[in-house]
Amino acid sequence: MIYMKNTSLFRSLPLLSATVFAGLFSATVSVQAQDVKGSAAAGQAKVWLCSGCHSIPEYRADYPLVYRVPKIGGQNAAYIYASLEAYKSGERKHPTMRSIAGSMTPQDMADVSEYYAAQNATSPQNPLK
């Protein structure tokens, strides 16, 4: 029978293991996100759910609170992608956006981000964006 003395090293092993795992997992996720290249053309087929709120001028949503929904057409793709990641992780708090972002893959987020970044007032696909 092996007897281990209860030292601070042995007590901290689970925490150390969890920290190392979290660091490796975080690095893997970051590398994967950086490798994803978005396509505005592919994004056009994926924005059907987004346009229900984000393409209506002066639209105000009333769940969970009344607020003005931003128009995101022409916004920087990296900003949109980072926002979707923040909703997905729970860093940004909005139940509807968290649910939508939570259902998106990194590729979906990149494609939607590129689609909206390419939009402007004269875009033929959806001039409201």
Task: Report the mean per-residue pLDDT for the chain.
Answer: 77
Q: How far apart are CA 33 and CA 52, in angstroms?
A: 26
Q: Please name the helix (run of DSSP H) or strand (run of DSSP E) that holds residue 60, with its range, or none.
A: strand 60-61
DSSP state of 103: T
70: pLDDT strictly greater than 70: yes
Instruction: Please state whether beta strands 67-68 and 60-61 pair in parallel, antiparallel, or not at all (unpaired).
Output: antiparallel
* pLDDT value, residue 125: 59
Q: Is the pTM of this model over 0.85?
A: no
Task: Show Cβ contacts of residue 29 under 8 Å, excluding neighbours closer than 6 positions.
Answer: none
Domains of the chain: 38-118 (1.10.760.10)
Mean pLDDT of all residues in 87-103: 95
Q: How far apart are CA 107 and CA 45, in angstroms?
A: 13
pLDDT in tens, 76-94: 999 999 999 999 999 999 8
